[in-house]
Amino acid sequence: MSGEAARVLENYVQRLRQLIGSYNSSRPSSLGLELEGPFDIDELSTTEITRRPGAYLIFCEDGRFKYTGMSAKGTIRGRIREHLKPKTQASSFWRNCPPKFFCVIATPGEEAGALEEYLQNNGFYGSP
């Protein structure tokens, strides 16, 4: 990863950590969610947190944020594997920005959707 890509990714991760802290403060029912990662593709298979449901964020090799998703019933690892299949990678959505790094927030399935909405409503999906 180039120095510029590492800087871009770190800016996203820092902003994400701030937003998760705010999310935890704003929701008394929140379980104190924590961000794990970023992980590269090889680390996903050995990272215990990906065996649970929750939200995940995908970043490109150049550090740019690309996609967020959630696994409400299955595992985060299973959902991310779907994005890594050759057929999925061939889509125009991924062609110019293949997934490389992943951040994971383990959470009960019902909270993953609320967290995803919170991130969207609080400007995470713009530039870092």
Residue 49 lies in a domain: yes
Flag whether 126 is in a domain.
no
Within-domain flag for 93: yes
Average pLDDT on 28-35 reads 73
Choose between 63 and 125: higher pLDDT. 63
pLDDT of residue 18: 92
- The domain in which residue 107 lies consists of 3-121
Report CA dihedral (92, 97, 102, 105) to the nearest 10 degrees.
Answer: -50
Residue range 79-98: average pLDDT?
83
Does residue 128 lie within any of the structural domains? no
Classify residue 127: in a domain, yes or no. Answer: no
Q: In total, how many domains does the chain have? A: 1
| 14-45 burial: b if 16+ Cβ within 10 Å, else e | ebbeebbeebeeeeeebeebebbbbbeeeebe
9 occurs within a structural domain = yes
